[in-house]
Amino acid sequence: MTKNLRLPTANGAIVPFTAANEPLIAPAKPAGGHHFNRVAYAAAHIVVDALADNDPWLDRNIDWERTIAFREYLWGLGLGVAEAMDTAQRGMGLDWAGAKELIAHAQSAARGRPDAVIAYGAGTDHLQPGPDVTIDDVIAAYEEQIGYVEGQGGRIILMASRALAAAARSPDDYVRVYDRILGQVKEPVMIHWLGSMFDPALAGYWGSADDMQAMETAVAIINQNAAKVDGVKISLLSAEKEIVMRRRLDPAVKMYTGDDFNYAELIAGDEQGYSHALLGIFDAIAPAASAALTKLAQNDLDAFHAILAPTVPLSRHIFKAPTRFYKTGVVFLAYLNGFQDHFQMLGGQQSARSIQHLSELFRLADTARILRDPDLATYRMKAILATVGID
């Protein structure tokens, strides 16, 4: 099968390209399992049933077999799974009813293998923001979702709340909500600070449009409740802000980088500390993540960076503005790599990126050695190109 094809560029030209790089092979699973010196979660996407007879913009049509198989693949590489999160189109195609199904299926699969590390997003997305929504309503919504996850035996990632962002009138409202919720959880949770570039409805979270001022409130809440907080995932796409916050956290609280632009340097760390990982890009570059983390655990920092460095331009492209559409690139790579037989998404989100964007993604994935089977990836890229008249 030929690896040659013609790809459009940003200036409208159509130029030849050949997928020339050998795929990166992740290390085989050791007999005793993977042993990383960082905790690493991949926020995982979902696979839809493209043959379902429904209204794709309105209905859930999830292929549970393929969706769970991908989680098994991540576990096999030593990565944890961050489930029912933004990467799974939570709030952009996956509602709370669908998330409950996903959580139940994933937790059932996790029970069957001792190496399965998994945590689940619990938020308030079944509560529509509006002028009549009160802080007590937000608390009750959090309690409902937390109760479901804990009832399934799952660990919690406490997701940022659109309803809270709309209802809060001051930082004190955030203090009230988080103190109340953290006082009730059965096990320490991960707190998720998702920036407005990922979700515009979360602008002004923690009571301020200024991230550094917002951080004051967040750090105070987290450190006051450190016994109930495993860590905080920060997704602001700013290494500088993450490092500032990391150094201010209670020593018992982990920092999980959610920075899909600067993850390599943040995970590597500095003389004052490092970040663990909870990243959407780890879904797309799972073999590279596993291989790099293996090298880091062996104190081979040069090899760690050599593996991850080529993935950073790919990640920055996938997560470029409008960042909330990054899920399209993640699922596109899953299609190219044979984890699903189609390029379809909940809510028709496969249409959220241009053919130029997807073509550049293909080039960068080849450079990063992320295409598992370049022949298959080229064949499938040609199928996508044909839909826009490029043969």
pLDDT in tens, 185-234: 999 999 999 999 999 999 999 999 999 999 999 999 999 999 999 999 99
* Residue 327 pLDDT class (50, 70, 90 cuts): very high
What is the predicted pLDDT for the residue at 28? 82
Q: What is the pLDDT of residues 67-80, one digit of tens each?
A: 999 999 999 999 99
Q: With CA atoms as reference, report the closest residue to 7 among 242, 354, 375.
A: 354
Cα–Cα distance between 163 and 129 in angstroms, integer?
4
Rounded to two decimals, the pTM is 0.96
- In a 3-state reduction of DSSP, which class is residue 122? strand
Geometric angle at alpha carbon 381, from 377 and 384, rounded to 5°: 145
Residue 2 is which amino acid?
A: T
What is the predicted pLDDT for the residue at 26? 83
Cα–Cα distance between 134 and 124 in angstroms, integer?
12
Return the number of other C-beta atoms located less than 10 Å from residue 92's C-beta.
17
- In a 3-state reduction of DSSP, which class is residue 163? helix
Cα–Cα distance between 254 and 277 in angstroms, integer?
10
Q: 207 near 173, Cβ under 8 Å?
A: yes
CATH architecture of the domain 35-326 equals Alpha-Beta Barrel (3.20)
What is the predicted pLDDT for the residue at 248? 98
Instruction: Tell me the domain boundaries of the chain.
Output: 35-326
